[in-house]
Amino acid sequence: MANERVKCLIIGSGPAGYTAAIYTGRGNLSPVMYAGMQPGGQLTITTDVENYPGHPEPIGGFELMEQFKQQALNCGADIRTGNVTKVDFSKAPYTITVNDTTTVEADTVIIATGASAKYLGLPDEQKYAGAGVSACATCDGFFYRKKTVAVVGGGDTACEEASYLSNLASKVYLIVRKNYLRASKAMQKRVESIDNIEILYEHEVRGLFGERFVEGAKLVKHTPEGDQDVEIAIDGLFLAIGHHPNTEIFKEWLDTDETGYLITEPGTPRTKIPGVFAAGDVADPHYRQAITAAASGCQAAIEAERFLNQ
Ligand code: NDP
């Protein structure tokens, strides 16, 4: 027997979840949101956001998400701490289990669980977790003031992290497996212009070493003559190699693509289950921007409202 029944349950609290909460709140659906493991989502661990329209000056990611949250609260959303651990979409109303203990029945569900940082999969990442390995420069960069660090990846996140760390650390290596950066031109220019960032193209991390904390990384350098082993002395390694969607608990019920992203009807947030919608990065392998996530949260809310009015 469920503990309560709600019209609209939102899982996850990034730009998609909060926007869905704003719209469903204004639509009188009394939305209930479970904020998940990382309330506010990925933006809370980024630095300045320069590309969210309506903010001509850069705004901190955390601050932006606090504004989203306040707006959702003002619109009547019930935002709760808690992690959804199980869903049962076999029949409506759908049953959602929170923290393995509480169950809620929902007429509509908006999935906005986003994506989480990827790791390389090296045993040393586990060995030095909390001892020199991190996937969040804004969270942990402070510990590396005047030290030497390395960032792995060649996308916008890696460049952003490297640029942020260059203000704290004395030296930052950017380890890129290809011979070019995938990041936008603006970000490429930024990292190339910072004196204490050294870009190591065609290098990959094979392991780490150090007594208790990371003291260095073992790399392999790809050259036309073959691979060469290289060691660099570093105090910290930051992973910035992309994200994987948080879809584990939904896979039993919903279709996913080969990398795990939820599949929706093209151009809509509708999943194959009526009344269950997916918004934001969890269903978007292509754009993955705060603004596109917010837009799809709005679409999901409108769909939920229409579904309930049918
Ligand atoms: P991306 O998927 O864009 O880039 C991942 C990077 O990590 C690539 O350079 C990739 O290399 C590398 N990589 C992946 N796996 C490995 C591995 N096993 N070993 C070594 N390197 C690896 O992810 P991001 O997180 O950078 O960006 C995601 C999205 O968010 C993008 O659309 C980006 O534009 C956006 N974004 C925008 C920002 C902004 O506008 N301010 C800030 C941050 C992100 P390869 O190129 O060889 O595949």
pLDDT for 47 beyond 80 = no
Note the Cα 292 to chain centre separation in Å: 14
DSSP three-state, residue 85: strand
259 CA to middle of ligand 1, Å?
Answer: 15
Mean of the per-residue pLDDT values for the chain?
95
Name the amino acid, one letter, at 294. Answer: A
Looking at residue 255, the DSSP 8-state letter turns out to be -
* CB contact at 8 A, 270 and 303: yes
Once rounded to an integer, what is the mean pLDDT over residues 281-305?
94
Task: Report residues whose beta carbon is within 6 angstroms of any ligand 1 atom.
Answer: 51, 120, 152-158, 160, 177-178, 182, 204, 241-243, 288
Side-chain-facing half-sphere of 282: CA atoms under 13 Å: 33
Q: Whose CA is nearest to atom 4 of ligand 1?
A: 155
> What whole-number distance in Å separates Cα of residue 147 and Cα of residue 137?
13
Catalytic one among 48, 75, 78, 136? 136
One-letter amino acid at 234 equals I
- Look up 136 and say whether it is catalytic: yes
SS3 at position 280: helix
For a pLDDT cut of 70, what percent of the chain falls above it? 99
DSSP 268: S
**Active-site residue identified among 8, 124, 140, 298:** 140
Q: Does 61 have pLDDT greater than 80?
A: yes
Pairing of strands 32-34, 276-278: unpaired
**Confidence at residue 45, expressed as pLDDT on a 0 to 100 scale:** 72
**1 confidence band (pLDDT: 50, 70, 90):** low
Residue 43 confidence (pLDDT) = 84
- What is the structure's pLDDT at 139? 73
Residue nearest to ligand 1 atom 23, measured at CA:
242
Q: For the residues 15-42, what does the mean pLDDT come to?
A: 95
Per-residue pLDDT tens over the stretch 130-142: 899 998 887 789 8
Residue-wise pLDDT tens digits, 178-221: 999 999 999 999 999 999 999 999 999 999 999 999 999 999 99
Report pLDDT for 212. Answer: 94
Contact 50, 163 (CB under 8 A): no
Q: Measure the CA dihedral 133/100/66/41, to 10°.
A: 40
> What pLDDT is recorded for position 37?
87
Under a CB-based contact definition with an 8 Å cutoff, are residues 239 and 136 in contact? no
Helices (H), the chain: 15-26, 61-74, 123-127, 137-140, 156-166, 185-193, 290-309
**Is residue 2 pLDDT above 80, yes or no?**
no
The reported pLDDT for the residue numbered 51 is 85
The pLDDT assigned to 179 comes to: 97
Q: How far apart are CA 266 and CA 182, in angstroms?
A: 26
Check residue 144 and report its DSSP letter: G
Q: Which string of DSSP letters, residue by residue, matches 215-228?
A: -EEEEEEEETTEEE
**For residues 42 and 79, which has the higher predicted lDDT (pLDDT)?**
79
Burial class (CB in 10 A: 0-12, 13-18, 19+), 302: middle
